[in-house]
């Protein structure tokens, strides 16, 4: 079968070989392994590095049965900006024209949501040519804007008013062949807009992680040592890995916990891996502390080595609508190494951690410090967490299993329609 995948803003299988593929890239690989043909519709713009990969629309034939079609937009410097809206509109207009010019029509379309415009065009195209369209919800647009930008007392009224006049997102869910969500809450949100109850064709597949098979070399150890990181015995190491963003992460509890633990008899040290606009602030606030290490951006083999040598993963996400409805992909990476998750995030993640004995939820920096001291004092608890979370990873977050099941589910839909 020929399957179209539609998703902009993800890491692409081009350039450096150590680029870490995300959900769509891994789904593409799963389809290809089963012998299907893939066209991935995406953008020339690198959302993470904020630069263009190509200056014009570009088709890349990666394999005989795998094509990337990259549509050129104007790009943007900030994630929340008019420039991003204009970029997405241009991509959408190009996408609408290009798909009708394609000589060979797909047997199936899997479209990420958002963007609403791309999903809308997929649904219209699917209806015209009787092609099933599966909508994979990643973010809750438009609700996210009303929840996070407006005062609480006016949110519901403003959203209801918006939904009276703007109907594209409702049309997408009402006419999707099936809806997939990354959590139960997100799936139910899509079904509510669709105006129907869940059917067997609608499923939840978590954001998942593919643990790399890497051997640690002396060069890796030396490289990290040059960055000031050497692992020692009898220290509890706690890591945060990702884009250190002051808009995504509440970094203040980390600062307070680090200051408290600096004076503790129990040795607990933080390892902060990554870069971002919040990194300078975090460095300044922890200046003079000897129990916090910053590596900046590092290679995948170095990240893997760190995760093999730390004992705890922290997830200090803000309790915003975006994150309380989701289980961020970072969690599956921690689980892959058996790390207990210590998070300030309530909602879906907080409930999952509590219900599955996968870590702890804190409500302040002082409480974070207490949790970490408790873990430093009890190696048996750490061992139980490791065993438990490795099982959780294997059952629910190993991308090889999750996306194999994802693809099998979609293929079963096609055969039954």
Q: How far apart are CA 5 and CA 26, in angstroms?
A: 11
**3-state SS assignment for residue 76:** coil
DSSP secondary-structure letter at 275? -
Find all residues with CB under 8 Å of 13, minimum gap 6, and list them: 19, 21, 25, 28, 62, 68
Beta bridge partners of 31: none
User: In this model, does residue 5 exceed pLDDT 90?
Assistant: yes
Q: Matching CATH topology for 2-208+398-416 and 218-397?
A: yes
Higher pLDDT, 2 or 16: 2
Average model confidence (pLDDT) across the chain:
93
User: In this model, does residue 17 exceed pLDDT 60?
Assistant: no
Beta bridge partners of 134: 110, 178
Residues 71/36, Cβ–Cβ less than 8 Å: no
pLDDT digits (tens, 9 = 90+) for 105-144: 999 999 999 999 999 999 999 999 999 999 999 999 988 8
Query: CA-based angle 318:328:305, to the nearest 5?
Result: 105
Q: How confident is the model at residue 166 (pLDDT cuts 50, 70, 90)?
A: confident
Q: Which of 138, 36, 38 is nearest to 411 (CA)?
A: 36
Q: How far apart are CA 126 and CA 106, in angstroms?
A: 9
Q: What is the pLDDT of residue 291?
A: 95
Show the tokens assigned to 111.
């479209």
Delimit the domains of the chain by residue range: 2-208+398-416, 218-397
Find all residues with CB under 8 Å of 66, minimum gap 6, and list them: 28, 32, 37, 38, 40
**3-state SS assignment for residue 66:** strand
The superfamily (CATH) of domain 2-208+398-416 is Glycogen Phosphorylase B; (3.40.50.2000)
How large is the greatest C-alpha to C-alpha distance in the chain, in angstroms? Answer: 70
Q: What is the pLDDT of residue 144?
A: 86
Show the tokens assigned to 144.
């996210």
| % of the chain beyond a pLDDT of 70 | 98
Q: Which of 160, 179, 303 is nearest to 229 (CA)?
A: 303
Q: What is the pTM of this model?
A: 0.88
φ/ψ of 134, rounded to 5, equals -100, 130
State the average pLDDT over residues 392-416.
91
Beta bridge partners of 5: 40, 110
Q: Is 198 exposed, middle or buried (0-12, 13-18, 19+ CB in 10 A)?
A: middle
CATH number of 218-397, picked from 3.40.50.2000, 3.40.50.620, 1.10.1200.10, 3.40.50.300: 3.40.50.2000
pLDDT digits (tens, 9 = 90+) for 188-247: 999 999 999 999 999 999 999 989 887 888 899 899 998 889 999 999 999 999 889 888
User: In this model, does residue 335 exceed pLDDT 90?
Assistant: yes
Q: Taken in order 350, 353, 355, 360, is the CA torsion positive or negative?
A: negative
CB atoms within 10 A of CB 234: 7
State the average pLDDT over residues 343-355.
95
For the sheet containing 312-315, what is the strand order?
292-296, 268-273, 236-241, 312-315, 341-343, 359-361
Q: How far apart are CA 363 and CA 222, in angstroms?
A: 37
């Amino acid at each position: 079968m020929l399957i179209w995948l539609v998703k902009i803003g993800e890491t692409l299988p081009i350039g450096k070989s150590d680029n870490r593929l995300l959900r769509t890239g891994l789904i593409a690989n799963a389809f290809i392994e089963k012998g299907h043909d893939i066209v991935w519709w995406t953008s020339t713009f690198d959302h993470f590095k904020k630069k263009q990969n190509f200056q014009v629309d570009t088709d890349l034939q990666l394999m005989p049965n795998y094509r990337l079609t990259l549509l050129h937009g104007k790009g943007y410097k900030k994630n929340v900006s008019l420039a991003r809206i204009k970029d997405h509109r241009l991509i959408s207009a190009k996408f609408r024209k290009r798909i009708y010019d394609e000589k060979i029509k797909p047997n199936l379309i899997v479209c990420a949501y958002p963007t609403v415009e791309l999903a809308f065009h997929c649904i219209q195209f699917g209806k015209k040519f009787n092609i099933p369209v599966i909508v994979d919800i990643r973010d809750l647009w438009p609700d996210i804007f009303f929840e996070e930008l407006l005062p609480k007392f006016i949110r519901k009224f403003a959203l209801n008013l918006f939904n009276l006049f703007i109907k594209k997102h409702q049309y997408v869910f009402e006419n999707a062949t099936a809806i997939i969500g990354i959590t139960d809450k997100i799936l139910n949100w899509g079904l509510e807009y669709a105006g129907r109850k869940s059917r067997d064709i609608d499923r939840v597949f978590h954001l998942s992680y593919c643990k790399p098979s890497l051997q640690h070399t002396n060069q890796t150890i030396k490289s990290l040592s040059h960055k000031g990181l050497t692992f020692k015995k009898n220290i509890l190491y706690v890591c945060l890995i990702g884009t250190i963003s002051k808009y995504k992460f509440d970094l203040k509890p980390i600062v307070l916990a680090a200051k408290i633990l600096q004076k503790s008899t129990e040795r607990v040290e933080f390892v902060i891996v990554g870069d971002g606009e919040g990194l300078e602030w975090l460095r300044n606030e922890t200046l003079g502390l000897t129990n916090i290490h910053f590596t900046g951006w590092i290679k995948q083999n170095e990240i893997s080595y760190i995760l093999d040598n730390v004992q705890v993963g922290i997830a200090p996400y803000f309790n915003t609508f975006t994150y309380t409805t989701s289980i961020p992909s970072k969690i599956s990476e921690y689980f892959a190494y058996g790390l207990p998750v210590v998070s300030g995030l309530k909602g879906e993640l907080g409930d999952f951690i509590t219900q599955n004995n996968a870590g702890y939820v804190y409500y302040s920096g002082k409480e974070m410090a207490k949790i970490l001291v408790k873990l430093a004092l009890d190696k048996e608890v750490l061992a139980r967490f490791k065993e438990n979370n490795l099982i959780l990873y294997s059952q629910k977050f190993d991308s090889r299993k999750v996306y194999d099941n994802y693809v099998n589910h979609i293929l079963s839909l096609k055969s039954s329609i």
